[in-house]
Chain A
Amino acid sequence: MHVLEANNLRKYYGNDPNITKALDGVNLYIDQGEFVAIVGTSGSGKSTLLNIMGGLDIPTSGSVRVRGKELAKLSDEELTIFRRRNIGFVFQNYNLVPVLNIYENIVLPVELDNDSTDKMFFEEITKILGLESKLSNMPNNLSGGQQQRVAIARALITKPAIILADEPTGNLDSKTSADVLGLLKYTSNKFQQTIVMITHNNQIAQLADRIIRIEDGKVKE
């Protein structure tokens, strides 16, 4: 079974004749442990595809299944909880909760679920990401690269089915970008974590196991 299945996804905005086809029949299948990059120019539909895959947006037609669960059939609350447990997000602008410290930000998805954190796993990922000494810091005391590592740790902590990374290096300089990408690749290999990353940068996309090109709402693999 694929970890993620997207079948004939369409996302249309507006009405005829001024209809905008952000996605126009996208089929996509991702397996466990894959590191996939979705590449496309600005306006190609890659962000729309990522949002729909993550349950943040609803397709006009088509379906998305994550670990066999069809997202469209879930209520808003079920979807939120499903997302919390099965989908990790890494955003371009980190999106850390400014009033929580680094430790609290990382374990937030687990705590929202009223669950207990896997301490060993937590220590492992914070060590890998170089965050052990930063756990009591607040986000605004960290650099961009460090904040993005925290975001990666937060995405990993629930051992989700899939991590969706939206231009994770968009706000970083080249060296930091390379560090972050390297970490993403490493964690994907280490934990057999499925990662889907969207980017407009072909060079960055080369790091992935598979590259999917999207143009005008259609996949061109």
Chain B
Amino acid sequence: MLKEHNNKVISRIAIRNIKSDKMQSFFSFVTFMVAITLIMAFILTILGVQKETEKDAKMQHQAVFDHIDQNTINIIEQDSQIKKVIILGTLPKVKYNDRFIIQTTYFSNFFYKKLEGKIPHSINEIMVTKESLKYLPEGTSLGKQLSLNLGNGISKYKITAIATLDVEPPNTISIYCTKELLDDFNNGEYKDYSVYLFLKNSQNMEYSQIKDNIYRIAAENNIPDKNIMFSSKYKNLSEKYSSKEIVQMAMVMAVILFAAYLVVYSIFYISVNKKIVEYGQLRAIGMVKKQIYRMVALEGLFIAIPGMIAGVICGAIIGYIIRPRGWYYLNFIIAAITALIFGLITLKISIYSPAKAASLISPIEAIGFNRTSTENIKRHKKSIKYTAFRFAELNLKRNKKKSILTILSLTFCGIIFICCASLQSSISAESMVTTTDFQYGDYKVCFEGNWDIYKELDSEAQNYGKGALQSVNNALTMDLKKKILSINGVKEIKEWFGTTSIFRFENKDISDQTTIWGYSRQDEKKLEIAKVDGTVSYSELIKNNGIIVNTSENLFKDVYGYEPKVGDKVSISFWQSNGTVLTKDFTVMGITGSADGFQHMIRMPVEILQKSADYNLALDWEIITETKYNEEIETNILELLSKYPELTFEKKADYVKNYNNLYGALFFTLYVLVMVLAGFGIISLINLTLTNHTLRKKETSILLSIGMTRRQLQKTRIIENEILVLISLVVATIIGSPISYFVVNSFKGTGAVRQYHFPLGVYLIFYGVIIMIQFILSLYLNRRSSHSLIYDLKRA
């Protein structure tokens, strides 16, 4: 029997080949390591998020009952389905130093990142947050007494604790007090608690079961539906990844693996090309095709396996750094196995063609193979002037496949680089804030209402919240507007109108209180972008008494269990200044589906809105200034607002800072991805340059010996390499730009992107770096090549 397979000698030759070509081996190792690192980190992040979500879901309440007194709380706590309740009570917001808001809260169970001191226990003890300290008088610290007006006049409070929270609203002093203080502020008994419900065994319940339990408890305690708020966060946490999200994740992994495949294929293709004569020799002395194939495949495997193991370790470290809370040993195992499987598949695919090509080399071809073959070069009848450019062009043409592979590899990396860099430069905390909260200006003045006035309203008026307060006194007047506009540096004020109303969907048993916002003709274009159905035409809606409902992030469906449609009939009740309610009928004429500045639930043309209530409906003013963040303008505005306790002042810069804290990890991840893809492209190009240099030593020596100067040779080589880079630059730009535009725009619906930005600076740096590396490498290699001509001639 023929014993033609000898793994030992094949493995030995494969290992020796790896050791002899250290540069190629290193590049392949790095490529696999980086690809697997990315995939590991990616999978661990996804699984980590899922794990964190599970942990968060366990800690998340399922629903909140509002406006509950202590007696009812005591009964609810005894319910057999209730695991625990957390009670929240708040005092009305109070202005502090004309600029800040004091929010005083009682929480039966505090959640904090870090705590110094002890939770307050007595009526005059409070806890403040670390962020709030900067708004309080200097020297405010743990154990100190602080004079504050929490709504009942100025009193002294002892700071018994300072808590660090994950996220805090800007310009807000968060105070945590005792239950006794709440009762004290409310004639001995606070009756307006919010009760957070945690059901037993919720993780094993369907969401519909959870809802049924909540409704049952509410019914048994005479709690109306309007006082029940289901936690959309819990619902989101309990949901698995949707098929759309899984497809998106798979696409990201596919992109990474394809980039790795291109680079590895290119490296091995060039390597096989380099060793054609050697493979022919081995075939001549008796190595069969299968042995040659196996040898090349083993070369790939012996490099890839350590690379992949290194990638698993690096990826695990990065995954842990990104999501330490989500770390779980099973996730690591799943991620490692998945990454290794994908890595091996990529290896198999990328090695297959080069290994097959190597095995098919016939000995006679290889023995007669001339590395400087001029096959397929057309013969020219006319004489041609051989400039450096002409030489470069000829060199590129004689091995088209190698040149095309390198261009493909660079171009692909370039395209993905443009997409990631575009996303990275189009998403920013500033973009997000500009999209959602500060569309026009850097400052906002908002009508919040006066608690003292609210307290005095009857219960029906209180149902209309800000609407009722606006009817009594709205400080956002023409007079104030003129005063603000007269401040030096203030250009314009964009007014937003709205009021709290009660809406009812006909025949759907959906009724709730919400702030209805108006929009102007100016806003129509933006709404058009956010529109998913119907029309947002200002004129059309006025003609037909239409409204626009926003369904972004499935909020409407989550809260009310219903997906609004064009044509739905809705009645909206507006508070009137004479104490009556005006109910009007509307038709849903448009549906928007993004958070693109219009995340509020219901909008209507401001003309219709203003006809629905007989008082000043101004709610927010965005102040547009000539320069960004001018301290003088701020001071002047604050001075003006000091007389109006119902108005608050907000700065865009504070929101940007908050978003940066929230999304820092995402921005960092995008940067890293962009850098890694750039690295893949550079590896591919360096490998080609070094290989070409090695393959053409003899040719180089011949050219130098017959009189080509080093400078001329350098020029030829540099031009040859830069042609490859420039072609890939052009192709990547032409193809990558529209793709990146599409990718960035697909994120618009999330509110994360306001406008597409082509990453010109980063892109030019990327290609600039590649061109420079090529240039320097070519210079260095060409300097080295001329020192011993005869040696190179003989040995090459």
Contacts and interface: CB of A to CB of B under 8 A. Distances in A.
Nearest to B795: A140
Most buried by B among A56, A76, A104: A56
Contacts of B288: 77, 80-81
Contacts of B286: 80-81, 83-85, 109, 112-113
A76 B292 CA distance: 14
Interface string B271-285: 000000010011111
B204 interface: no
Nearest to A57: B364
Interface string B334-378: 000000000000000000000000000011100100000000000
Mostly, the B contact residues are helix
Contacts of A114: 3-6
Interface stretch (B16-24, B242-250, B444-452): B16-24
A202 interface: no
Contact of A56 (B16, B290, B363): B363
A173 to B, nearest CB: 13
Interface string B8-40: 110011001101100000000000000000000
B748 interface: no
B2 interface: yes
Nearest to B16: A99
Contacts of B367: 56, 91, 95
Interface string B281-310: 111111111110000000000000000000
Nearest to A144: B794
B4 A109 contact: no
Given A81-B2, A114-B3, A115-B3, A98 B20 contact: yes
Contacts, number: 77
A100 B16 contact: yes
A136 B586 CA distance: 94
A113 B6 contact: yes
B285 A77 contact: no
Contact of B20 (A51, A99, A108): A99
A46 interface: no
Contacts of A122: none
Contacts of B285: 83-84, 89, 95, 108-109, 112, 154
Nearest to A115: B3
A142 B291 CA distance: 28
B357 to A, nearest CB: 15
A73 to B, nearest CB: 16
Interface string A91-110: 10001011110001000110
Interface in A178-214: none
A113 B3 contact: yes
Nearest to A77: B288
Interface in B514-563: none
Contacts of B13: 97, 99-100
A113 B282 contact: no
A84 to B, nearest CB: 2
Most buried by B among A76, A80, A95, A115: A80
Nearest to B277: A95
B21 to A, nearest CB: 9
B284 A83 contact: yes
Interface size class of A (residues with CB under 8 A): 20 to 34
B25 to A, nearest CB: 12
A166 to B, nearest CB: 9
B1 to A, nearest CB: 11
Contacts of A97: 13, 278, 281-282
A124 interface: no
A22 B369 CA distance: 19
Interface string A66-92: 000000000011001101110001010
A111 B9 contact: yes
B289 A77 contact: yes
Most buried by A among B283, B362, B367: B367
Given A80-B286, A154-B285, A113 B4 contact: yes
A95 B287 CA distance: 14
A111 B6 contact: yes
Given A57-B364, A81-B286, A98 B2 contact: no
Given A51-B364, A113-B286, A95 B281 contact: yes
Contacts of B363: 56
A155 to B, nearest CB: 9
B166 to A, nearest CB: 58
Contacts of A109: 285-286
A114 B6 CA distance: 5
Interface in A105-131: 108-109, 111-115
Contacts of A56: 284, 362-364, 367
Contact of A89 (B5, B17, B284): B284
Contacts of B278: 97-98
A84 B3 CA distance: 12
B181 to A, nearest CB: 82
A143 B291 CA distance: 30
A154 B287 CA distance: 14
A80 B8 CA distance: 19
Contacts of B20: 98-99
B367 to A, nearest CB: 7
B364 A99 contact: no
Most buried by A among B3, B281, B285: B285
A154 B6 CA distance: 18
Contacts of B8: 111
Nearest to B21: A99
Contacts of B287: 80, 84, 112
A115 B367 CA distance: 27
B4 A77 contact: yes
Interface string B706-735: 000000000000000000000000000000
A57 B281 CA distance: 14
Contacts of A112: 4, 6, 9, 285-287, 291
A97 B295 CA distance: 14
A68 B286 CA distance: 19
Nearest to A92: B367
Contacts of B289: 76-77, 80
A128 B173 CA distance: 97
A111 B362 CA distance: 21
Contacts of A115: 3
A84 B291 CA distance: 13
B218 to A, nearest CB: 79
Contacts of A77: 4, 288-290
27 contacts: A56-B363, A56-B364, A76-B289, A77-B4, A77-B288, A77-B290, A80-B287, A80-B288, A80-B289, A81-B2, A81-B286, A83-B284, A85-B286, A95-B281, A97-B278, A98-B278, A99-B19, A108-B9, A109-B285, A109-B286, A111-B6, A112-B6, A112-B9, A113-B3, A113-B4, A114-B6, A115-B3
The 9 A-B pairs at the shortest CB distance, nearest first, are namely A84-B286, A99-B16, A114-B3, A111-B9, A114-B6, A95-B281, A56-B364, A80-B288, A57-B364
Given A91-B284, A99-B13, 13 more contacts: A56-B284, A56-B367, A77-B4, A77-B289, A80-B288, A91-B281, A95-B281, A95-B284, A100-B13, A104-B12, A108-B285, A112-B285, A112-B291
